[in-house]
Structure 1
Amino acid sequence: YENAIAERINGILKQEFDIAKNVKDFSLKRQLIVAAIKTYNNVRPHFSNHMLTPRQMHEQNKLKRKQYKSKKLNNDVIVQL
């Protein structure tokens, strides 16, 4: 769960914006990532933002941002030595 947000962002960059390992040129990859971030924040609506873009959600003050609770891990012993 701790890496869920980072993994989700990596997945979006790879799947939706097709920024994959096959782009070897670092400068080109950086440009593609910058463009993807602009699109993600300014063009792409999100279900978690009531179908607003992140920028629209940030600029408004009527709708509340959805909060995701962190998962509490229990202290059950799985293996006892």
Structure 2
Amino acid sequence: MQLELLGTRIWKTRDELANAIFEWIECRYNPYRRHSGIEMHSPVTFESLYRPSDTTE
């Protein structure tokens, strides 16, 4: 986060920084971080593995 977000610019307000941190965590970090509760897969990988196929017969 330090290299990808915090060191990229100067933040005008604390609220602007807080919103940027929240967005970075929720949109860029958490979807790809592995979670032990879902067999050490990232949420994106887990959903793709266990989502029913969209094909109809």
TM-score norm. by structure 1 comes to 0.42
- Give identity over the alignment, percent: 13
AA at the equivalent of 1:32: I
Greater share of residues in helix: 2
Q: CA RMSD in A?
A: 1.8
Give the C-alpha shift of residue 60 in structure 1: 1.2
The structure 1 segments of at least 4 consecutive aligned residues displaced by more than 6 Å after TM superposition are: none
Give the C-alpha shift of residue 59 in structure 1: 1.3
Query: Alignment length, in residue pairs?
Result: 38
Give the C-alpha shift of residue 33 in structure 1: 0.8
Give the Cα separation in 1 of the matches to 2:19 and 2:47.
25
TM-score norm. by structure 2 comes to 0.57
Task: Pick the structure with greater CA Rg.
Answer: 1
